[in-house]
Structure 1
Amino acid sequence: MSERITTPFGFESTALEVVEGVDLSGRRAVVTGGASGIGVETVRALAAAGAEVTIAARNVEAGQQVAAELSAATGNKSIFVAPLELTSQDSVKEFVRSWDGPLHLLINNAGVMATPLTRTPEGWELQFATNHFGHFTLTTGLFDALRAEGARVVNVSSGGHLISPVVFDDIHFERREYDRWAAYGQSKTANVLFGVEAGRRWASDGITMNALMPGVILTALQRHVTPEELAERRRQRGDTVPVRLKTPEQGAATTLVLAVSPLVEGRSGLYFEDCEEALPHTPGMTGGLAAYATDPEAAAQLWKVSEETLKVQA
């Protein structure tokens, strides 16, 4: 068992503080969902450190506005925008086809949360299709670009993974009653499991993949959820510790730790919160990592199911 990783950063650290003194000149990064929420702050920090950054966004116009603002703020003119709709496998594959050259950092940041029951044209449940399948096709499709330089992949997961493991016998709620929080939870568990199996498969290729909980940040991600509902969910869980909100700048900090810190060099399958490796979750604990989210058998099964469902060879 490796020693738990801690860093000089914590709950209140910002993404810009994490990259202070870091030189990413010559490094290329992709940030999905980089046009809103913590994605904007992730792009800002990477650009401030000198990286070439591509914002992969559903709304290209919004992405271009963000790119212009961040170029002006950071002095980095190498911020680009490319269309990416994670719910559309065709869109994801087109992004992959259009990518040229090496890729050093892939930040799988985009996601949806607690949506009403919605299915993709393939019949897949929307949250799993967006949060996992879209990023699975993107990441595996970019394998050669990532392998070329020994890259880091960072998956923005959530403490919501504690709600549910991946329910393999009915991922898409075809036989069980739809629960939007359970659907969200299993998609976030998948983000962690993805890194566990990628670490096993890709270690010799020099690619690492880790996941994180950014914290509770009020962004467009919560557009399907009322504050009252969140409070009720906490009451049902017996949470007594007051929720501490983070700013988007603080919310992006843990992403940047996994993206640039030498402390995680060569490591995969980790899950960080508040800029350090999370402790195992125990009953009554707020946060932490569920054991099922790092189960190697579940990770291998998820990879197999993803390959078979998406008809890709990863």
Structure 2
Amino acid sequence: MTFGFSTTAAEVATAFAQEITGKNVLVTGTSLNGVGYETALAIAPHANLLIITGYNLERLALSEAAIKREVPEANIRGLLFDLSSLAAVRKAAQKVNAYSEPIHVLIHNAAAPIGPFKLTVDKLESQTTTDLIGPFLFTKLVAPKLIAARTETYTPRVVLLTSIFHEYAQGFDFADIEYPDPAKYEPFKAYNQAKSAIVLLAAELSRRSGGAINGYSVSPGVAFTNIQQKPESFEIFFSSGIINSDGNPNLANFNWKTVPQSAATTLVAAFDPLLEDKPGIYLDDCKEMPIAGPNISDPVLPRQLWAVLENIIGERFEF
């Protein structure tokens, strides 16, 4: 079939069932009514092992139970951790590294609410930490588990969710990433910068690994998920014209996807065998797209970003 805007995650998973079979897949951010949940649900019928994560034990249990209702035979393992805490990320990575199984695909879906300025326990900005710094550290720590899945015919993959809005980021304030200043903070500016950095990170991960791991960045498009329904995000989404005063999607300003449609491109990035020789690319609507935005066309930026992230986590990420 031809994939596009209207393709669902389940349709992609069915098309690539052979590629998913036997794989161990870890998906972050799998709360109900979210893109990560739909991603996990589509993978569940086919994968050897599906690891779902979340920062709230009750919500994680609800997601696991919901998947089990739909796919009783699914082999699911829950992993509790908060990407906004570097200590929690390290603890979760220790658990993953103790698993007997390798990890074939790591999908970084989790994201922080777009809301007022908030510092994490590590004195870092919340959105940037959850969307970028935490995933960087977790990937670094579980990289041996990913590389353990590599064979002569298979390269493990890391899929990082970005946004169609990544192109609106106007450069990188690396100093503010390390030492966030509330006076500089604008919710969507922080969001756009983090999502733009994710595009760079996927490409730089692929380059630095030298073929050991393939990284891909994915835009899910615009869908009405639990992110837009966070109380701390309402005013920001309303004032920006994304949702209406009643809290429902503003259909006039955006071409909305359903949540299953929004998860489809993630599945393509994770399992399409034709992408094997295209590491580091950006995908939208289930296909490769040009990387947009003047701030990410500079080849020096990915190296600078990598160095800044290494400095924040306090260790080198080398292969």
Q: TM-score range by the shorter chain?
A: 0.7 to 0.9
Once the two structures are superposed, what CA deviation does each residue of 1:86-124 show, in whole Å capped at 9, x if it has no partner? 011111111111112310010000002422001113221
> Percent same amino acid at aligned positions?
31
Could you say which residue in structure 2 is the equivalent of 1:166?
Answer: 172
* 2-structure distance, mates of 1:297, 1:129: 22
Of 101-110 and 259-268, more deviation after overlay is shown by 259-268
The correspondence of residues 84-123 of structure 1 with structure 2, limited to 5 A, is 84-99=81-96, 100=99, 101-123=101-123
* 2-structure distance, mates of 1:159, 1:225: 20
Return the match for 1:308 from 302, 311, 319: 311
The answer to whether the 8 A contact 1:42-1:255 is kept is yes
1:153 and 2:161 aligned: no
Could you say which residue in structure 1 is the equivalent of 2:14?
Answer: 20
Residue 74 of structure 1: how far off its partner (Å)? 2.0
Q: Does the residue aligned with 1:225 lie in a helix, a strand or coil?
A: helix
Could you say which residue in structure 2 is the equivalent of 1:209?
Answer: 215
Could you say which residue in structure 1 is the equivalent of 2:40?
Answer: 43
The answer to whether the 8 A contact 1:113-1:184 is kept is no
Q: What is the aligned length? A: 293
Residue 154 of structure 1: how far off its partner (Å)? 0.4
Structure 2 counterpart of 1:296, one-letter code:
P
* 2-structure distance, mates of 1:225, 1:161: 21
Could you say which residue in structure 2 is the equivalent of 1:279?
Answer: 290
Could you say which residue in structure 1 is the equivalent of 2:273?
Answer: 262
Could you say which residue in structure 1 is the equivalent of 2:207?
Answer: 200
Residue 67 of structure 1: how far off its partner (Å)? 1.2
Once the two structures are superposed, what CA deviation does each residue of 1:202-235 show, in whole Å capped at 9, x if it has no partner? 1232x101111101111121220345323289xx
1:299 and 2:296 aligned: no
1:181 and 2:161 aligned: no
Gaps of 5+ in 1: 1-6, 234-240, 281-288
* 1-structure distance, mates of 2:78, 2:134: 18
Residue 30 of structure 1: how far off its partner (Å)? 0.6
* 2-structure distance, mates of 1:264, 1:175: 40
Of 182-191 and 113-122, more deviation after overlay is shown by 113-122
C-alpha distance 87-232 of structure 1, shift in aligned 2 (>3 A): closer
TM, length-normalised to structure 2: 0.86
* 2-structure distance, mates of 1:230, 1:218: 15
Q: Does the residue aligned with 1:231 lie in a helix, a strand or coil?
A: coil
Could you say which residue in structure 1 is the equivalent of 2:261?
Answer: 250
* 2-structure distance, mates of 1:190, 1:76: 38
Could you say which residue in structure 1 is the equivalent of 2:293?
Answer: 290
Structure 2 counterpart of 1:211, one-letter code:
S
C-alpha distance 268-292 of structure 1, shift in aligned 2 (>3 A): farther
* 2-structure distance, mates of 1:242, 1:163: 16
Residue 60 of structure 1: how far off its partner (Å)? 2.0
Residue 277 of structure 1: how far off its partner (Å)? 1.4
Residue 176 of structure 1: how far off its partner (Å)? 5.2
Q: Does the residue aligned with 1:211 lie in a helix, a strand or coil?
A: strand
1:32 and 2:39 aligned: no
Residue 51 of structure 1: how far off its partner (Å)? 3.8
Of 102-111 and 175-184, more deviation after overlay is shown by 175-184
* 2-structure distance, mates of 1:113, 1:65: 20
Q: Does the residue aligned with 1:117 lie in a helix, a strand or coil?
A: coil
Return the match for 1:219 from 225, 230, 239: 225
Q: Does the residue aligned with 1:142 lie in a helix, a strand or coil?
A: helix
Structure 2 counterpart of 1:25, one-letter code:
T
Residue 38 of structure 1: how far off its partner (Å)? 0.7
* 2-structure distance, mates of 1:301, 1:76: 45
